[in-house]
């Protein structure tokens, strides 16, 4: 309501790689979980930001917020925290650029977002009351559109999380096998966990013999792309675009895991 769309487009959409950098920076300073990222990503796309930059934001936002970095700093030290930040920040930019051409902001599953954006442009929202009214009812429309997707996703993710014992994770993702990292990332994606919860779980698994790389892959997979987020994305984007986003998060998890094992 208060930042003109032309400025957002200038900052994130018309500067090539700098659009991805700006989107990653915005993602890093916003303390959002994965599900909170989706509504803001939709708002960015309504403002004309390219899918490439939005993808960088979607990767960075749940994984680089200040709370997570503070927890990593306290629990595993500044070196691991710095490596994690550099890796995820860089991968958010690179994968946003790489996968940006495979998805499109125009591939919206519904046209309501575009209509809402057009309505905002047409109306003269020159008072706080009108801006508040438009923002509130826009949020209500978005909430109603994703409500059942969110309920279904949270239910499935919670069941998986509640019935997935640590010993099972260790069985398939523990040890020194090179497959441990991609398996850990795959196990993490269906789990409905915030990164703040995933970090203590990961440390407990590491104490039982899981490599730090597999733990990082599990944390990124679980916090970066949970089932609730996937279901919410499916209410906005077409299947191909959702698949691109999931693939980007999976690659972030796997690459980060292997790098951590190599240098830590």
Mean pLDDT comparison of 121-135, 165-179, 206-220, highest-scoring range = 206-220
Using alpha carbons, select from 222, 224, 235 the residue that is nearest to residue 149: 235
Residue 105 pLDDT grade (very low, low, confident, very high; cuts 50, 70, 90): very low
CB 250 within 8 A of CB 225: yes
Structure tokens at 10: 């200038």
Residue 30 pLDDT grade (very low, low, confident, very high; cuts 50, 70, 90): confident
Q: How many domains in the chain?
A: 1
Q: What are phi and psi of 163, to 5 degrees?
A: -115, 15
| Cα 226 → chain centroid | 9
CB 245 within 8 A of CB 225: yes
DSSP for 28-63, written as a single string? HHS---HHHHHHHHHHHHHTT--HHHHHHHHHHHHH
pTM: 0.69
Q: Write the pLDDT tens digit of every residue in 129-156.
A: 887 888 788 778 767 766 776 676 566 5
Residue 49 pLDDT grade (very low, low, confident, very high; cuts 50, 70, 90): confident
Structure tokens at 47: 């403002």
Q: What is the mean pLDDT of the chain?
A: 75
Mean pLDDT comparison of 127-131, 167-171, 173-177, 222-226, highest-scoring range = 127-131
Q: Which domain holds residue 101?
A: 5-263
The answer, yes or no, to whether residue 90 has pLDDT greater than 90, is: yes
């Amino acid at each position: 309501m208060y930042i003109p769309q032309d400025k957002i487009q200038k900052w994130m959409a018309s500067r090539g790689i700098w659009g991805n950098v700006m989107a990653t920076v915005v993602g890093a300073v916003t303390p959002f979980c994965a599900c909170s990222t989706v509504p803001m990503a939709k708002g960015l796309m309504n403002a004309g930001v390219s899918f490439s930059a939005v993808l960088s934001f979607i990767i960075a936002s749940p994984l680089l917020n200040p709370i997570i970095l503070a927890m990593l700093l306290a629990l595993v030290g500044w070196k691991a925290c710095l490596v994690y930040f550099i890796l995820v920040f860089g991968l958010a930019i690179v994968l946003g650029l790489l996968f940006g051409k495979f998805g499109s902001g125009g591939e919206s599953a519904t046209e309501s977002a575009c209509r809402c954006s057009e309505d905002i442009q047409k109306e003269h929202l020159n008072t706080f009351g009108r801006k508040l009214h438009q923002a509130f009812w826009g949020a209500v429309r978005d909430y109603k559109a994703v409500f059942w997707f969110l309920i279904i996703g949270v239910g499935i993710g919670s069941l998986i999380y509640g019935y997935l014992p640590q010993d099972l994770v260790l069985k398939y993702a523990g040890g020194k096998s090179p497959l441990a990292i991609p398996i850990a990332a795959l196990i993490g994606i269906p789990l409905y966990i915030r990164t703040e919860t995933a970090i203590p779980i990961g440390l407990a698994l590491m104490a039982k013999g899981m490599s730090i790389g597999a733990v990082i892959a599990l944390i990124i997979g679980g916090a970066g792309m949970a089932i609730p987020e996937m279901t919410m994305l499916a209410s906005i984007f077409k299947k191909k675009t959702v698949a691109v986003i999931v693939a980007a998060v999976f690659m972030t998890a796997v690459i980060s895991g292997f790098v951590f094992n190599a240098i830590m």
